[in-house]
Amino acid sequence: MIDLNAGAQLPAAPANVLRIVQLGGLGEIGRNMAVLEINKELLIVDCGVLFPDETQPGVDLILPDFEPIRDRLDQISAMVITHGHEDHIGAIPYLLRERPDIPIYSGRLTLALIANKLKEFRISGNLIPVSDREIIRAGEFEVQFLAVTHSIPDAYGLFIKTVGGNIVHSGDYKNDPTPLDGRVTDIEFLTKAGDLGVDLLMIDSTGAEYPGVVESERTLAPVLNDLVATAPGRIIVASFASHIHRVQQIINAAEKNGRNVALLGRSMVNTQRIARELGYLKARTETLINIDDVDSLPDNKVIVICTGSQGEPLAALSRIANRDHKLSISPGDTVILASSLVPGNETAVNNIINKLIRQGAEVIHKGNAEVHVSGHGSAGELIELMQVVRPKNVMAVHGEHRHQVANRKLATSIGVTESRIIVADNGAVIDLKKSGPEIVGQVDVGMVFVDGSSVGELAETSLTDRRILGEEGFISIFVAVDLVAGKVIAGPELHARGFAEDDSVFDDVIPQIVAVLETALAAGTIEARTLAQLVRRTTGKWVASRHSRRPMIVPVVVEA
C-alpha cells in the first residue's frame, strides 16, 4: 500500500504489476496524459494541454503536472500519441525540455503537427511515424496502433501488451462508418484484441451521457452546401484549426458553389498547410487565396475560414467581432460556428455572437442549425466498443466527472461488475491485479500554468488577485499619521480603478477611516502594518455594505 501522503513522487510498482497513473485528463476535458508502468519502465500516452477558462485571467495554457515523474524521466521508454489535437500534444515541448530524446510514436500528420510545435521551442525531437496496425516495442511494452475515426485524420486507439496485462486505450473514439477519408475504426482488430484477452479498457467518456450514436461527418455536407449556396454575402466560418475534415467539407462546398477560400489565423494557416502538404487536405490551386485578396473579390465569391470558435480573446473571430481586425463585418455576411462549445466557453462565445449580430451578420451555430457533429462517440458506440473488446476491467478516461460516471453506468449495463470499473481523479495510482484494478494511492498533481514565458510560477493566489482586479476593481488608500500627536495629518486619499468613475464616491468612508485610526493611535497602536489592516477592514466593510463589491484594497500608512 502506498502512503496517501507520500508527496508528489511516483513510487515504483511491484514487479510484473501494471500500474496506471493519469497526470491529467480525468475530471476535465483537456491535458490528457497517462503514465503506464511495468517493471520500472514508463510509457507515456499523450501529453496535452488544457485551455484556461474565464476564472483564470492571463493564463495561456495549463499543463499536466510532471512532478510525480520528474526524477524518473530516464525510465520513460517512449511516448505514444493517439492523435494531433492540442489536448493530446500541446504539452510535449514542455516535457521534452526536460528530456529531449524521448522516442515519440504516432501517425504522420500528428508527428508533423508536433514537429511544427517543437520548432518554436528549438527542439528537434525523436519522432517516429507508424501506420495502421503497426507494432512497436518500447522496453517492456508492445504497442499496436489501431485506426479509429475522430475529428482529425490519423487518430489511433492502442493495444498495449505487457507481462502485467493487456490494455486497450480507445483514444478519442468514434465509430463513423462513412468517414470523409474512408479510414474506418478498426472493429475487426478490436474484436481480435478481445479474443486475445483485454485486462483493462481505458475508454473515452466525453459522449457517454448522450444516447444513440453520433452521425457521420458526411451528414454535414448538404447542410454546409445549402448555406454556402444561399448566403448573399461573404461567409466566415470559425472552426478548430485541427478539424481538417471540417475544413475539407467547407472547401468542397466552396468549390461546388464557385467561391474562393482564405484561411485566417496562424494556427489555421499552419495546420492546413501541413495537412495539404501531406495529402490530408485537398483543394484546387485556384480555390485558396491570400486573406489580403479577399476585398478584391465580390462578397458572394468569398469564404474565410478562421480560428476563434470558442471565443478565445486573441483569435481571429474575436478580433473581428471586436472591430479589432482589418476584416470587418458587413450587413449580409454570414458567420458559421462549425464546432461545439467546450464547457466553460459559453459566455465568451455568446458575447461574440451578439456582437456579430449587432454588426449585421447572420450567425449560424449548432443551436440553430446542424453545422456540427461530434468527434466523440455517444453511448451506443461506447457500449459497442465494450462489447467488442470484452474487457475484464474498465477505466473511464477523457472527460469531466459526470462523463466518467455516465460511462461507468454504460459498463454496468452490459454486465461489467462495478468493482471492476474505475472512476478516478488525476493522480490516482491504479495497480492492475488479478482480482481487478485497485486504487493503491495518490500522488500530488496540480495545475501548472503557462503565463507568458513563465511555466509553473503562477500560483492560485495570484489568479485570485487577478480575478478580483478584473471583476471587483482596485482601491488604493494613502494616509500619513503623527504617532506622537495620535492624529491623521494627511489623507486619507482614496483612488480606484475599475470600481467607480469618480473618487468622490469615497467621501462617506473617509471620516470612518480617520476615526478608526485615531482611536487606535490613542490606544497605543503604532505599528504601520496593524494600522493598514484597520484601514483595509474599515474600507472593505463600507464597500461591501454600500456597493456589494469586494475590490482589492491596498492601504499605505506612513509616519510623518
Asked if residue 89 and residue 201 are part of one domain, the reply reads: yes
Please check whether residue 89 is in contact with residue 48, taking contact to mean a CB–CB distance below 8 angstroms: yes
Asked if residue 86 and residue 158 are part of one domain, the reply reads: yes
Would you say residue 2 lies in a domain? no
- How far is residue 405's CA from residue 396's CA, in Å, rounded to a whole number? 8
pLDDT of residue 213: 94
Number of H helices, E strands in the chain: 14, 27
- How far is residue 24's CA from residue 399's CA, in Å, rounded to a whole number? 10
Nearest residue to 452 via CA among 59, 31, 3: 59
Asked if residue 110 and residue 246 are part of one domain, the reply reads: no
Q: Which three cell numbers mark 386?
A: 465494450
Query: Angle at which helices 266-277 and 244-256 pack, to 10 degrees?
Result: 80
Q: Which amino acid is at 281?
A: L
- How far is residue 558's CA from residue 560's CA, in Å, rounded to a whole number? 6
CA distances from 498 to 475, 494, 513, 540, 547 (A): 9, 13, 22, 15, 13
Q: Is the dihedral of CA 433, 438, 442, 448 positive or negative?
A: positive
Would you say residue 465 lies in a domain? no
Would you say residue 515 lies in a domain? yes
Asked if residue 336 and residue 298 are part of one domain, the reply reads: yes
Nearest residue to 154 via CA among 145, 142, 143: 145
Which CATH number do you get for residue 43? 3.60.15.10
SS (H, E, C) 375-411: CCCCHHHHHHHHHHHCCCCEEEECECHHHHHHHHHHH
What range does the domain containing 520 cover?
472-559
Please check whether residue 220 is in contact with residue 372, taking contact to mean a CB–CB distance below 8 angstroms: yes
**373 conformational bin, left if phi > 0, alpha if psi -120 to 50, beta if neither:** beta
Asked if residue 549 and residue 495 are part of one domain, the reply reads: yes
Which CATH number do you get for residue 237? 3.40.50.10710
Asked if residue 228 and residue 193 are part of one domain, the reply reads: no
Q: Which three cell numbers mark 176?
A: 463513423
Asked if residue 116 and residue 47 are part of one domain, the reply reads: yes
- How far is residue 337's CA from residue 372's CA, in Å, rounded to a whole number? 8
Domain boundary among 414, 436, 460: 460
Please check whether residue 94 is in contact with residue 114, taking contact to mean a CB–CB distance below 8 angstroms: no
pTM, 2 dp: 0.79
Facing residues of 37 across strands? 19, 42
Which CATH number do you get for residue 517? 3.10.20.580
Asked if residue 120 and residue 46 are part of one domain, the reply reads: yes
Sheet bearing 428-433, strands edge to edge: 126-129, 103-106, 76-80, 41-45, 33-38, 18-24, 428-433, 436-442
* Residue 87 dihedral angles phi and psi, to the nearest 5°: -75, 5
Number of domains in the chain: 3
Nearest residue to 373 via CA among 238, 250, 213, 235: 213
Would you say residue 348 lies in a domain? yes
Q: Quote helix, strand, coil % in the chain, to nearest 5.
A: 35, 25, 40
DSSP state, 182? S
CA distances from 256 to 65, 225, 229, 276 (A): 47, 8, 9, 19
Asked if residue 395 and residue 248 are part of one domain, the reply reads: no
* Cα Rg of the chain, angstroms: 28
Asked if residue 307 and residue 351 are part of one domain, the reply reads: yes
pLDDT of residue 469: 47
Nearest residue to 432 via CA among 375, 392, 377, 401: 392
Q: Give CA torsion, residues 245, 46, 173, 28, to 10 deg.
A: -100
Would you say residue 9 lies in a domain? no
Report the SS3 class of residue 82: coil
Instruction: Walk along the chain (560 residues) and give the pLDDT tens digit of each residue.
Output: 344 444 567 788 889 999 999 999 999 988 999 999 999 999 999 999 987 655 544 566 788 999 999 999 999 999 999 999 999 999 999 999 999 999 999 999 999 999 999 998 899 999 999 999 999 999 999 999 999 999 899 999 999 999 999 999 999 999 999 999 999 999 999 999 999 999 999 999 999 999 999 999 999 999 999 999 999 999 999 988 889 999 999 999 999 999 999 999 888 999 999 999 999 999 999 999 999 999 899 999 999 999 877 766 667 888 888 887 888 888 989 999 888 766 666 777 888 888 899 999 999 988 888 888 899 999 999 999 999 999 999 999 999 999 999 999 999 999 999 999 999 999 999 999 888 899 999 998 887 877 644 454 444 554 454 445 445 567 788 888 877 777 787 878 887 766 555 566 777 788 888 888 878 877 777 677 778 888 888 887 877 777 666 777 788 888 77
- Asked, as a colleague might, if the bond just before 179 is cis with ω within 30 of 0, I would say no
pLDDT of residue 453: 47
Would you say residue 64 lies in a domain? yes
- How far is residue 465's CA from residue 471's CA, in Å, rounded to a whole number? 10
Asked if residue 359 and residue 379 are part of one domain, the reply reads: no
Domain boundary among 364, 390, 423: 364
Neighbours of 264 (CB within 10 A): 23
CA distances from 359 to 39, 334, 337 (A): 62, 11, 16
Domain boundary among 332, 364, 396: 364
Length of the chain (residues): 560
Would you say residue 3 lies in a domain? no
Asked if residue 415 and residue 272 are part of one domain, the reply reads: no
Angle (nearest 5°) at CA 512 between 508 and 513: 110
Would you say residue 1 lies in a domain? no
Query: Angle at which helices 528-547 and 510-522 pack, to 10 degrees?
Result: 150
pLDDT of residue 319: 85
pLDDT of residue 165: 95
